[in-house]
Amino acid sequence: MKVLSRLLFLAILPTSVTQAQRQSSPQDAYVNNPAGVLQRAREVMGFEHAANRVLHFRAIMAAEQNYQSDRTYPPFFSSMVSQEVWFDPASAVLRVQSETIFPGGGPSPVSTTLDDGKNAEAARGDSHVPIARRLATGRALNAWAVIADWSAATGVRALGQEVYRDYPRLVLARQTSTGEQRLYLDPKSGFPVKLDFVEPHYLWGQRHIEYVWSTWTMSGGVFLPGSAFRLADGDVELSQTIGSMELIAADSTPPLAAPAAPTRPPAELPAFLQPVPPEVTQVSAGLYLLSNPGYNEGLALIHDEVYVFDATQGEERARQDAEQIARLFPGQHKINVVVTDLAWPHIAGVRFWVSRGATIIAHPAAREFLQKVVDRKWTLAPDSLQLRRNRSPVAGRLNFVPIGQATDLAGGRIRLAPIDGIGSEVALMVYLPVEKFLWASDYIQTLDEPTLYAAEVLRAAQRAGFTPQRVAAEHLPLTDWKAVQAAQTKTSKPSGTP
């Protein structure tokens, strides 16, 4: 079937495409002419054939949740996104309407993004929320949008050739607001193959990002990739499959106005990662919660040692936590960081604490991944751990204490135990028996209805002999334990009930 499809593809290529293929070679003059390379890409993709019409298609996108799956290694679960897409070649405006299905939830309400390559926004009714350029990850899945952006850019330069996916490709480069990008095109056909760049990352420092277009299809005289992918450090994060495509009149589409330029630059991080200075809540003598809109964390001073319950968001949040420790517990104290869960945002502050010589306490299965996080080289914007290692390669080693079963520390003043339900493997909870306080990691998130997570925490606490009176978690404020128990007896709402 694949051979037949290729023969049909070749048979229906326009004369201009086949002539261009016969006449092209890596030695042709256009190779060192970026404008000519991009013009040829527009020709073979059918920009002129689209004329004043708009590309319209439906697609399914799988967004791998590598950063919050139940393991730090594949397979990861995906949120599945049903998309309806419009792209206007004349204005370069891309409109995407999406519905998302997440494990146990969805389809979500329809969300809409508008993106012209300069500005992007999420639109719902009269609300228009700007999106930072780096967070507008969906645009580069659309090869037409990428070619339009590069064609309109200044300063595009040729870098020569590089073998990619078994064939030599022409490589162009340009500087953008988020750094340098490289565009790979096939010299024999003129089609774009991938977009390539390095971007900063809150956990890994930086990642090599590739957008790859393949399985090209033809409809109505224009060519579109049937598949598009976003890869980070070689691993697929987004996979889009495009269904049938059509060209429609510009006056028959939903609004395709270019987004307005925001009055101030939008945040480069999603809200849950923004290190807003935390508010401090005292639970009891020597026990505090630190809370911002993204995450709660805990601090406890026990026998002159400080225990930090999770290190979320990144170095800036960890630095703020360190400042609170110095204020709340003056003097020098050994620091112990209890890592209860391995979702990437939950451990993004670990490197800071390792640079400070802290002991990291976690489930034995967490060691390999935490070691990988600690060993990562931050080259784009070195953090405190990387700067220390630049001065001394042996600095900042991981001091790891594994906890695989119910364990007492600090003479029994702090007790740790695995939660160990089917949804909470490799996760720990922390109990302070004197304070009658339980830190439930990420595993109590709502009291509105019964949940698998909370049921597993209740069973684990009973199994370990914990008798808390109050509880808190990364997304749960200080709460009466009886409220958690009562929530599990509520009747679940039928699907769709408001």
Q: Tell me the per-residue pLDDT of 304-359, one tens digit each, with 9 for 90 and over.
A: 999 999 999 999 999 999 999 999 999 999 999 999 999 999 999 999 999 999 99
Residue 491 vs residues 446, 451, 497: alpha-carbon distances, Å: 14, 11, 12
Tokens of 396: 């900042």
Q: Tell me the per-residue pLDDT of 130-170, one tens digit each, with 9 for 90 and over.
A: 999 999 999 999 999 999 999 999 999 999 999 999 999 99
Average model confidence (pLDDT) across the chain: 92
Q: Tell me the per-residue pLDDT of 235-262, one tens digit each, with 9 for 90 and over.
A: 999 999 999 999 999 999 999 999 999 9
- Global confidence as pTM: 0.90
At which residue do the structure tokens 């970026």 appear? 34
The class (CATH top level) of 2-247 is mainly beta
Tell me the C-alpha distance between 98 and 478, whole Å. 36
| Sign of CA pseudo-dihedral 349, 350, 356, 358 | positive
Domain residue spans of the chain: 2-247, 277-487
Confirm if 434 and 422 have CB atoms less than 8 A apart: no
Confirm if 410 and 302 have CB atoms less than 8 A apart: yes
List, in sequence order, every residue forming a beta bridge with 245; answer none if it has no partner.
Answer: 57
DSSP state at residue 102:
B
At which residue do the structure tokens 């890869």 appear? 231
Q: Which pLDDT score, from 0 to 100, does residue 18 have?
A: 40
Confirm if 310 and 340 have CB atoms less than 8 A apart: yes
Over residues 391-403, the mean pLDDT reads 93
Confirm if 471 and 477 have CB atoms less than 8 A apart: no
Q: Tell me the per-residue pLDDT of 49-65, one tens digit each, with 9 for 90 and over.
A: 998 999 999 999 999 99
Confirm if 311 and 336 have CB atoms less than 8 A apart: no
| Neighbouring C-beta atoms of residue 33, cutoff 10 Å | 13
Confirm if 94 and 145 have CB atoms less than 8 A apart: yes
Q: Which pLDDT score, from 0 to 100, does residue 17 have?
A: 40
Helix and strand numbers, DSSP H then E, in the chain: 11, 26
CA dihedral 325, 326, 328, 334 (to 10 degrees): 60
Query: If 0-12 CB within 10 Å is exposed, 13-18 middle and 19+ buried, where does residue 338 land?
Result: buried
Q: What fold does the segment set 277-487 form as a domain? A: Metallo-beta-lactamase; Chain A (3.60.15)
| Neighbouring C-beta atoms of residue 65, cutoff 10 Å | 16
Q: Which pLDDT score, from 0 to 100, does residue 8 have?
A: 35
Q: Do domains 2-247 and 277-487 have the same CATH topology?
A: no
